[in-house]
Amino acid sequence: MRYQGVLFDLDGTLVNSAQDMYIALNLTLTEVAFPVVSYAQVCSWVGNGIDTLVKRGLSGSVEVNPELPAALIDLAIQTFRSHYGQLAGQYATLYPHVETGLAALAGFPKALITNKDRSFTESLLDTLKLTSHFKVLICGDDGCKKPAAEPLLNACTALGLQPKDVVMVGDSKSDIVAAQNANIDAIALTYGYHQGINLQDLNPQYLCGDFLDIIPILTQR
């Protein structure tokens, strides 16, 4: 087969976790006396890690306000972590056909690469019973975050595979650009959290509208 392993993003690719983050962010904003934000805004802001999400919430925009006080940012991030730690996985759901698709790909070594912190990731995976599917887990607090190439290259090393032998499956610009930076083929999913970007414009090798669409790509010879 053309590919011998698969690298997966988490939020927006396997799991719709925006509701947990939406609740945690608005609890945080309320505590620091900032205006609450909408669910649609949160969906358009996720994908670049917790710190960036919180700063976007404080700014009320995807563009972070450079004049936010550092002490406020630190307080808000710690407050969010506390709330999200209690919520992670509580309202999250798998996207359609993810469970079936992962089972169908049982023969492929798989790595999960997320910008989410490890403690939250492990809790989410355990709650949704996804942990057993992945041989390797690379998280945002392990080092560089996507769109850097390093998390993907580290996953390849841990899987014992070369970049040319794997494909990255994701739903956001950071996933596709990370794959390109690592010289790894990319499958872009048209659902999930795109931050208003048309992923087709990023020229991924494949564009899929359903999770099951990745199976024939991975099983081609």
Per-residue pLDDT band for 46 (boundaries 50, 70, 90) equals confident
Instruction: Encode pLDDT of 61-104 as tens digits.
Output: 999 999 999 999 999 999 999 999 998 888 999 999 999 999 99
Q: What is the pTM of this model?
A: 0.91
How confident is the model at residue 221, as a pLDDT? Answer: 74
Three-state DSSP at 134 gives: coil
Per-residue pLDDT band for 220 (boundaries 50, 70, 90) equals confident
Catalytic center residues? 9
Q: Is the pLDDT of residue 212 over 90?
A: yes
What is the average pLDDT score of the chain? 95
Per-residue pLDDT band for 188 (boundaries 50, 70, 90) equals very high
Report the distance separating Cα 175 and Cα 146, nearest Å: 6
How many CB atoms sit inside 10 A of residue 164's CB?
13
How confident is the model at residue 2, as a pLDDT? Answer: 87
Report the distance separating Cα 89 and Cα 171, nearest Å: 19
